[in-house]
Chains A and B, each alone.
Chain A
Amino acid sequence: MTTKKVTGSQAVILSLLEEEVDTIFGYPGGAIMPIYDALYDHNDHVKHILTRHEQGAIHAAEGYARVTGKPGVCFATSGPGATNLITGIADAMLDSVPLVCIIGQVASPLLGTDAFQESDVVGISMPVTKWNYQITTPEEIPETIAKAFYIANSGRPGPVLIDITKDAQFGEFDFDYKKCTKIRSYLPEQPINKFKIKEAADIIDNAERPLLLFGQGVIIGRAEEELKAFVEKTGIPAAWTLLGLSALPTDHPLNVGMLGMHGNYGPNQLTNHADVIISVGMRFDDRVTGKVSSYAPSANIIHLEIDPAEIHKIIRADVPILGNSKKSLKLLTEQVKENRHDEWLARFRESDKTEQEKIIQKELFPEKPGLTMGEVVRIAGDKTNHEAVLVTDVGQHQMVASRYFKFRHPRSNVTSGGLGTMGFGLPAAMGAQIGAPDRKVIAFIGDGGFQMTIQELGTIAQNKLPVKIVVLNNNFLGMVRQWQQLFFEKRYSFTELQNPDFIAIAKGFGIDAHKVEVRDDLESSIQTMIDHPGPYMLEVVIEKEDNVFPMVPSGASVSDIMLEP
């Protein structure tokens, strides 16, 4: 490539184009104005989504990244613009979401002087970024952006932040772009140890009650086919974590459901009966393990993981297999013998029956008059032929939707797992819709979380994003209320909400909306929503004090999973 003289801010845009960025989520302000000015000349090449708050931009970038597998790109100005991104960056850090955040900063001579809208963004974001860097000269821009994209989306992905001082945005230099392909101090994935594969294969071949646990690592590594081939060859029951949802079709005969605090009865309880556990691209989060000291006591643990720091972090692995799961699963599948575990699998199906009778039936097909979250999720799923992208916020509705929405295709689940960020849902849904314009995107959001980022209805309306928003309204911060009921003697301390007229609000933003209060109106209203060509909000008034079950109480063992209070 020939070099040409450009300003720093032009270099930022040119670098993003070199990285094939098609969408930027952002919010302008003083310190990033030169970059926005350079962006003005590239409206044809790159779409910019002006959100209503920086938190909206960062969650939208996450939603975009989750459905596309490409880094989400975010712009914000210095000071408050940057600090408003922090929650989303922390969210992306815990959920391994690739993001590149480009932040304006006060001019370099003003650094450290408490200048207007100055904040130490590099310092503030350090604990929640995979990497960050402050640029003070234009010459650093191409190389730093190249490095940022490489770091964000290689190995275990994560958020990267670049802070660019205003003088670096104005300065001129000879632009030349070279993609980053390696960094001496950073090994994105370890070469796979073939001896460990052999060792694991022997254990798997001799297992009587093996259980496979898979997480988002399978989706990030695009190893869905390899996972399927492995379980089909070995006949091993496979359970997904919250973020592993959609990596295997829901209806796959070996898919035994969801792990975790509100996961399915079978995989939780039978974890402690397994003699071998193969965990793939998951990190034994405390919501999955329950009480660690009594977790899978009789199992040999085989841990397939890309991040060396996750090995032995929570659960000691008997056979750690470092590396990319796409490669390690393939090697492992080649080494293992064909097998079936029909009796063992039948025990999961037996547990499913119990769960169906005690919980699922009355959640999905309730006989009481009050509407349940489960039936709304069931109907929405059926009516989209299980092909939609599910976006959830955080709380009861998130657990219900994750339990009952069915998946046929990978990359169909966008939720805030590790950080549990309320307010994530609405902006993430708009990012997901931009990333997957040809897919139906359905967001289930509680009345609490909805009000945390409700202003993004404006962004959705302005960009005519056909997101389907289902607000499950129980007039409570439902999950906290559930805990208060179960563990705090029904002392409902500050969990009841006086909600606004959501329909009027949606309509005020120019979004069609409808409120459902009775069962007779539910199915046709969901149909109307799905058939609607543009954005649509459906508010469903649901039973005020319903609980999500089963439940592994905090600090209890997974085998102590409760089917009822």
Chain B
Amino acid sequence: MKQEYIITVYSENHIGMLSRITLVFTRRKINIDSLTVSESAIEGIFKFTIVIKSTPDLIVKVVGQIEKQIDVLKAFYHTNDEMIYQEIALYKVATEALYENDTIEKIVRNAGARILEITREYTVIEKTGHKTETQELFFELNKFKVMQFIRSGRVALTRDPIERLSEFLKERDAVLEQID
């Protein structure tokens, strides 16, 4: 049975890393549902957060093949319930619709969203949450016509009390020392 997995890849900051990582999915014809790349807490190490649908059997192989890339430090995979994750969505609606009555304001308040910017023509609303939540808000707001909509890739943290990458780097250093 396929289910959603969050893959976290830590890599050196080298050109072409994104291609090397995505090639592993392309080869097996796996679609990437969402992708976020940014520098991690450790300077110079980049973190890729990738959401795909996979079977438990396949995810192990895919992550193994990602980790095999020379400039990849470590790759982890988790099911959704093992991680705390969020996506951010922005919605642009006509400011006029806001003035007609207080429905939009109520929707925004109930959804825990906030208003980022109001101009004479448009208002931008921001909502952070899971896809189902940002999608639901889109559905509500679209009754008043959403002019533009964008949702980010996922960002995610493990529920572990320790930073797993730092642990990993310590272990790796020890192993590399041994090899000499």
- B61: which A residues are within 8 A, CB to CB? 309, 312-313
A311 vs B27: C-alpha distance when bound (angstroms): 19
Q: Chain B at the A interface: mostly helix, strand, loop or mixed?
A: helix
Q: Are A127 and B72 in contact (CB under 8 A)?
A: no
Q: Is A151 an interface position by the 8 A CB rule?
A: yes
Residue from A132, A182, A186, A188 with most neighbouring chain B CB atoms (10 Å): A186
> Are B65 and A309 within 8 A (Cβ)?
yes
**Residue ID in chain A nearest B70 by CB atoms:** A131
Closest to B169 in A: A184
Q: How far is the CB of A536 from chain B (nearest CB, A)?
A: 43
Please tell me if the beta carbons of A191 and B178 are within 8 angstroms of each other in the complex: yes
Q: Is residue A109 contacting chain B, with contact meaning CB distance below 8 A?
A: no
- Residue in A127, A191, A309 whose Cβ sees the most chain B Cβ within 10 Å: A309
| A308 in contact with B175 (CB, 8 Å) | no
Could you tell me the distance between the alpha carbons of A184 and B174 in the complex, rounded to whole angstroms?
11
In the assembled complex, the Cα of A186 lies from the Cα of B16 at a distance in Å of 17
Q: Which residues of B contact A123 (CB under 8 A)?
A: 16, 19
Please report which residues of chain A, range 202-246, place their CB below 8 angstroms from some CB of chain B when the two chains form the complex: none
Instruction: Tell me whether B73 is interfacial, beta carbon within 8 Å.
Output: yes
Find out whether the CB atom of A126 lies under 8 angstroms from the CB atom of B64: no
- Contact indicator A127/B70 (Cβ below 8 Å): no
Residue interface bits A121-143, CB-to-B below 8 A is 1, else 0: 01100110011101000000000
Total B residues in contact with A, Cβ cutoff 8 Å: 25
B162 at the interface (CB under 8 A from A): no
Q: Across the interface, name the chain B residue whose C-beta is closest to A131.
A: B70
Cross-interface CB contact of A309 among B11, B68, B180, cutoff 8 Å: B68
In the complex, A3 Cα to B44 Cα: how many Å?
29
Map CB proximity to B onto A171-187 as digits: 1 under 8 Å, 0 otherwise. Answer: 00000000001111111
B20 in contact with A312 (CB, 8 Å): no
Q: Is B164 an interface residue (CB 8 A)?
A: no
Contact residues in B for A132 (Cβ distance below 8 Å): 16
Is the CB of A307 closer than 8 A to any CB of chain B? yes
B71 close to A (CB within 8 Å): yes
What's the Cα separation between A253 and B178 when bound, in Å?
A: 38
Q: A186's contact among B19, B27, B65, B70, by CB below 8 Å, is which?
A: B70
Q: Are B70 and A130 in touch, CB under 8 angstroms?
A: yes
B67: interface (CB < 8 Å): yes
Instruction: Report if A307-B16 is in contact (Cβ < 8 Å); known contacts: A126-B23, A312-B60.
Output: no
**Chain B 138-180 near chain A by CB (<8 Å), digits 1 or 0:** 0000000000000000000000000000000100100110111
Chain B nearest CB from A125 CB (Å) reads: 11
Residues of B within 8 A of A181 (CB): 180
CB contacts (< 8 Å) of B180 on chain A: these are: 181-182
Contacting residues, chain A, for B16 (C-beta < 8 A): 122-123, 126, 132
Give the complex CA separation of A301 and B110 in angstroms.
Answer: 57
In the bound complex, how far is the Cα of B143 from the Cα of A449, in angstroms? 67
Given A185-B70, A308-B67, A313-B61, CB of A126 within 8 Å of CB of B178: no
When distances are taken between beta carbons in the complex, the residues of chain A under 8 Å from B27 are 127
Question: Which A residue's beta carbon lies closest to that of B12?
Answer: A185
Tell me if B1 is interfacial: C-beta within 8 Å of chain A: no
Query: Which partner residue on chain B sits nearest A308 by CB separation?
Result: B64
Q: Which residue of A lies closest to B63 (CB)?
A: A309
CB A82 to nearest CB in B, in angstroms, measures 16
Note all chain A residues with C-beta closer than 8 A to B175: 187, 190-191
A191–B67 Cα gap in the complex (Å)?
17
In angstroms, Cα B109 to Cα A177, docked, is: 63
Binding site for B on A (CB under 8 A): 122-123, 126-127, 130-132, 134, 151, 181-191, 307-309, 311-313
Interface residues of B (CB under 8 A from A): 11-12, 15-16, 19-20, 23, 27, 60-61, 64-65, 67-68, 70-73, 169, 172, 175-176, 178-180
Q: Can you list 16 A-B pairs, Cβ within 8 angstroms, ordered by A?
A: A123-B16, A126-B20, A131-B71, A132-B16, A181-B180, A185-B11, A185-B70, A185-B73, A186-B71, A187-B172, A187-B175, A308-B68, A309-B61, A309-B68, A312-B61, A313-B61
Besides A188-B179, A191-B175, 6 other A-B contacts (C-beta < 8 A): A126-B16, A182-B176, A184-B73, A184-B169, A185-B71, A189-B179
